Every structure is written in structure tokens, then in C-alpha cells.
Amino acid sequence: MSDMSRPALSALHQAFRNSFAALESKQRLWGSELAECSPLLGSLGNLAEQMRALSNVRVSSTPLGTFPKLEERLRFKLQEAADTVLEKLNEKMCRLQSARDAISNQVRSVVQLYEQDATSLDLQAVTERSAVTPSVADMLEWLQDAERHYRQQFLQRKVLLQTLRPNDLALLESLPERWKSLESPDGEQRITGNINCPKLETRAPPTLRCGTLVSCRNTLQSVIFPGAAVKTEEQNWNPNLLSRRTEVKDADTERKTRDLKTSSNRL
């Protein structure tokens, strides 16, 4: 890695650390908002079933027919309740959009920083990874995958809600199942695994990516204390280094002794 790459790489590592922390926070917010949508969707489906039951009954032919305009009043009440639920769902969608926008902005800032410093980063600096450290290229790909996932998830749910019609009872009844079918557990699991970004070091042999959400948060902190990683590496190699230094020192002492003997003989 060239000396020119080190400052840019350090700035990128800090940006990655902030981005993964923000992504973890927004992922929790996204999951919380989705969980709160489930009971609303269930209520909407139940209201649609009640509307269908009301449509299948001739209220005027029942003892309730003595009440004036009862069927119209019941239908109005059910429609009003459905509109209230839809308004709450729209509020949830606004929060989901806010989380999606925050993720997109965070990823965009990292990509812009990378593009800004791309000329000072050599290929080795971008692609180098270790057993505990993903490469810059890996982390950029993970962030872009996460941004794409939440963008697609939001658009699919938004389009689904926009297709609803008050008189389409079948669609209203099937809404909870169709909403659930949009879930992507594999996508969420993959993003969680990538958020579990191991600590950021700048040199090591290439190998696999790995980690957990907690380990990511803890190990990413090591970028603030790069000396700790360097010290550990020096400790691991210290016996070999001492042995090599001793061999060099002995060889140097022997060479000097021979030179002194040669000078003495000449005199």
C-alpha cells in the first residue's frame, strides 16, 4: 500500500464505521415500524370481511329493517373505520420512507467520499482484506446492497397500498397476506451479516468476511486505536524478530572481528 493511500483509507474506514452504526440503527427502526403495521393490516382485513358480510345480507328483510337507513349507516361506519386504518398505515409508510432516505443518504455520502479519494487509493488498498477485516470494495458493496434492499422494500409496499380500492373487498381481505409476502428474511439476514463488519485493519492476508452486530460495533472501534492492532501483531512476531536480530548481530560482530584481525596483520 502506498503512503498516499493511507490518509484516504483512514477517512474511509471512519466513514464506514459511522455508516454501519447508522445502518444498524435504521434497521431496528425499520423492523419496529413494520411490526406495528401488522395489527393495522389485520384490522383492515377484518373490516373488509365485515363489509362483504353486510353486502351479502338484505338488512331490510331482517328485523333490523325497521331501523331507517341502517345498511347505509353501517356501511359508512365500516368505511370510516377503514379510512382511519389506512391513514395510520400511511403514517407508518412515512416513517419507513424516512428510514429509507436516511440509509440512502448515508450510503451516498460514503460513495462520494470514495469517489473523491479514488485517485489516491491504489488497487491493493481497495481490495485488501483479512480474516477479520473486509476490504473497502466489500464494504462499499454491502452498503449499496442494503440501500437497494430497503429502497425496493419501500417501493413494493407503497405500490401495494396504492392499488387498494374501497370497493375491492377481495384485495382488502388479501392485503395482510400480500404484505407479508413482500418480506425478505434472507435479505434482512444478509444485511445483518454485513453490518456485522469486523474491525478495520489496513494490512493482512485475504480471506473470508464474517461477524455479528455486536462484534461489528465493538471491533469497528479498533480503528480509533490502530496502535492496538499493530502491537498485537508485533507481539505475535516478537520471538521471530528477536531471533533474527540476534543472528544479524552475531554475524555483524564476527565480520568486525575478522576486519580487525586483518588490519592487525597488515600492521
Q: Which residues constitute the domain of residue 239? A: 226-267
- Record the pTM: 0.67
User: Is the same domain home to 214 and 239?
Assistant: no
User: Is the same domain home to 128 and 241?
Assistant: no
Long-range contacts of 111-114 (CB under 8 A, 24+ apart): 111/140, 111/143, 111/144, 113/11, 113/12, 113/15, 114/12, 114/140
**Would you state the pLDDT for residue 40?**
95
User: Is the same domain home to 233 and 194?
Assistant: no
**Would you state the pLDDT for residue 226?**
37
Alpha helices in 163-266, H assignment, sequence order: 169-181, 185-195, 213-220, 226-266
* Cα(220)–Cα(136) distance, integer angstroms: 14
Q: What is the pLDDT of residues 100-109, one digit of tens each?
A: 999 999 999 9
User: Is the same domain home to 125 and 178?
Assistant: yes
Q: What is the pLDDT of residues 19-41, one digit of tens each?
A: 999 999 999 999 999 999 999 99
Residue 170 contacts by C-beta under 8 Å, 6 or more apart in sequence?
Answer: none
* Cα(155)–Cα(163) distance, integer angstroms: 12
Total domains in the chain come to 2
Q: How confident is the model at residue 165 (pLDDT cuts 50, 70, 90)?
A: confident
Alpha helices in 56-135, H assignment, sequence order: 70-117, 123-127
Long-range contacts of 28-31 (CB under 8 A, 24+ apart): 29/95, 29/99, 30/96, 30/99, 30/100, 30/150, 31/188
User: Is the same domain home to 249 and 150?
Assistant: no
**Where does a domain end: 209, 224, 239?**
224
User: Is the same domain home to 211 and 242?
Assistant: no
User: Is the same domain home to 139 and 84?
Assistant: yes
Residue 72 contacts by C-beta under 8 Å, 6 or more apart in sequence?
Answer: none
| Lookup: cell for 206 | 485475504
User: Is the same domain home to 163 and 238?
Assistant: no
Q: What percent of the chain has pLDDT over 90?
A: 39
Over range 242-251, report the average pLDDT: 46
User: Is the same domain home to 62 and 82?
Assistant: yes
User: Is the same domain home to 180 and 232?
Assistant: no
Q: 120 pLDDT exceeds 70?
A: yes
| Lookup: cell for 153 | 422494500
| Lookup: cell for 256 | 568486525
Per DSSP, the residues of 119-185 read GG--HHHHH---SS---HHHHHHHHHHHHHHHHHHHHHHHHHHHT--TT-HHHHHHHHHHHHHT--H
Over range 75-90, report the average pLDDT: 92
User: Is the same domain home to 122 and 201?
Assistant: yes
User: Is the same domain home to 204 and 86?
Assistant: yes
